[in-house]
Each structure stands twice: as structure tokens, then as C-alpha cells.
Amino acid sequence: MKKITAVGITVVVLLVMMTSAILLSRTPTTTSTARSIKVKGSTTVLPIAQAAAEAWMRAHPRDSIIVEGGGSGVGIAALIDGTCDIANSSRALKEEEKQKGLISHEIALDAVCVVVHQSNPIEGLTLEQVKRIFKGEITNWSEVGGPNLEIVVYTRESTSGTYETFESKVMARENITLRALTKSSNGEMVQAISGNPNGIGYVGIGYLAQARGVKALKINGVTPTPETVRNGTYPISRFLYMITKGQPEGLAKDFIDFVKSPEGQKIVEEQGFVRLP
């Protein structure tokens, strides 16, 4: 009996040890489930990234996504330096940036809207008129059918993707007047134009939804809307991007996939931008 009992105890102990090992192998550890990334860059993409990050973290409370602005160039520089995981950008990558291993991921469409104070009677301009205003060749609203008032030009800093899009699609690489007043974000641009009846500037379409005191002008007779952006008739349209160094992995991949998913594209539209085609 003593021999049988000892054998029985040994079998029971082995079974308990095996069961415990199986359970432990199936239990996720804290280290493997707590993830964190930093997203930095374009102030145009900022509302999309912030809203998407909040939605993701509500569904995945162990994940942390830190989102900051600063401009497209700032975000791309941080990505190259390894101080962020995703760079938000409102411009396409340059060839030298691609050579550093950066990869762009389209996440939305946008229109760069030319904006004036809501009291301005002007409803539209041609692309050539906008160019001449920003070059400093047209300096009074009366020259384009408006009141006899001096035009005050506002622009963005050179690290801004919105600036680069405007410079490429409107200015054709010609210089913006040195008299232009520089603003560091879309939000600051809206604030400046809403406070100056003589002002003219440009912002991403998403910043118009909640803006007060400003209006977007028709360009070449075309109003910036989701439809005219998608069909390409609005002349200052562009993609918005999330950039990674190499192919994304882990939380960075999951987050970009989420932004491009139907749920993420709904967030894009809720923020006033245009979903991917």
C-alpha cells in the first residue's frame, strides 16, 4: 500500500506541474501587452491622429499613443533621428528622405483652402490671381473686384507640409512676398484671418468645419469639397500621410492599419477631411 500511495502522489504532482506550465504559457505577460509609440509632425494631420489615438486607446487601454504637432518637416526629422515612431506629413516624401528608408502610407485626402475673413465680398479667385497676391504683385483687394483695402498676406513656415504643397501647386516654386506674416499652424492661421478683414491665407479643409469668422474661396470656379477633392477638380488637393522608417511593426502597424480601416476613415471624415478613394 505504501508503494502504491507514493506512486499515486508522484503522478498527481507531475500532473499539477504540467497543468501549471500549460496555464502559464497561455497567460500574456505585462511586458508583451503594454505597448507605446510616439507620433509627431503635421498640424494638418494632427486632428486625425489625435482622434484616432483616443479611439484606439479606449479599445486597447494597455496601449499608449502619444501625438504631437510641430509640422511635417519636424516630424520627418524626428523619425529619421529615431525620436518618434510615426511622422505625420501633409506632403509627399522627398527622394533623399526615401533613400533614408522612409516609407509613406496614405491615410486621407485634403484640400489646401485659400481663406479670407467672412466679411470679404470676394467669393473666388483664379489660381493665377492667388499666385500674384502671394508674390506681392496684387496688393489691394480692389484689383480683384473687392473693396479698396490693402491685402495682408499670411503664410506658413517653411517646415510645414501645407506650405510646401502651396508653394508647389500655387506658387510654382516662385517666392512668397517677404511682407507675408508667418503662422506656425493651421489653427494659428484661422485665428489670424478671423481677426483681420484684410487678410488672406491657406489651411487644410479639416480646419474649416469648426472655424468661425473665415470662409474658403472658390479657385478657378471650384469650391473645395470632399467631392471636388476626390474627383480632382479642386486644383490644390493632396494626400495626407503617416510615415515610418522601414515597414511598420507592432503598435505602429496596428495603428496605421486602424486609421486606414473603415472605422478609421470614419474618423477622418468626422474631422472634416476626405476619406481615401
Separation between Cα atoms, residue 111 and residue 90, nearest integer Å: 10
Structural domains of the chain, ranges and CATH numbers in brackets = 33-109+240-270 (3.40.190.10), 110-237 (3.40.190.10)
Helix axes 161-169 and 72-81, enclosed angle (nearest 10): 120
Separation between Cα atoms, residue 86 and residue 19, nearest integer Å: 42
Instruction: Print pLDDT tens along the chain (277 aa).
Output: 444 444 443 333 333 344 444 333 333 333 457 899 999 999 999 999 999 999 999 999 999 999 999 999 999 999 999 999 999 999 999 999 999 999 999 999 999 999 999 999 999 999 999 999 999 999 999 999 999 999 999 999 999 999 999 999 999 989 999 999 999 999 999 999 999 999 999 999 999 988 899 999 999 999 999 999 999 999 999 999 999 999 999 999 999 999 999 999 999 999 999 999 9
Residue with cell 508522484: 10
Q: What is the pLDDT of residue 32?
A: 57
Transcribe 42-101 into DSSP letters.
-TTTHHHHHHHHHHHHHH-TTEEEEEEEE-HHHHHHHHHHTS-SEEEESSPPPHHHHTTT
Q: Which of 222, 221, 192 is nearest to 207 (CA)?
A: 192
Q: What is the pLDDT of residue 183?
A: 97
Q: What is the pLDDT of residue 21?
A: 41
pTM of the model: 0.83
Q: What is the pLDDT of residue 33?
A: 78
Separation between Cα atoms, residue 1 and residue 3, nearest integer Å: 5
Q: What is the pLDDT of residue 220?
A: 98
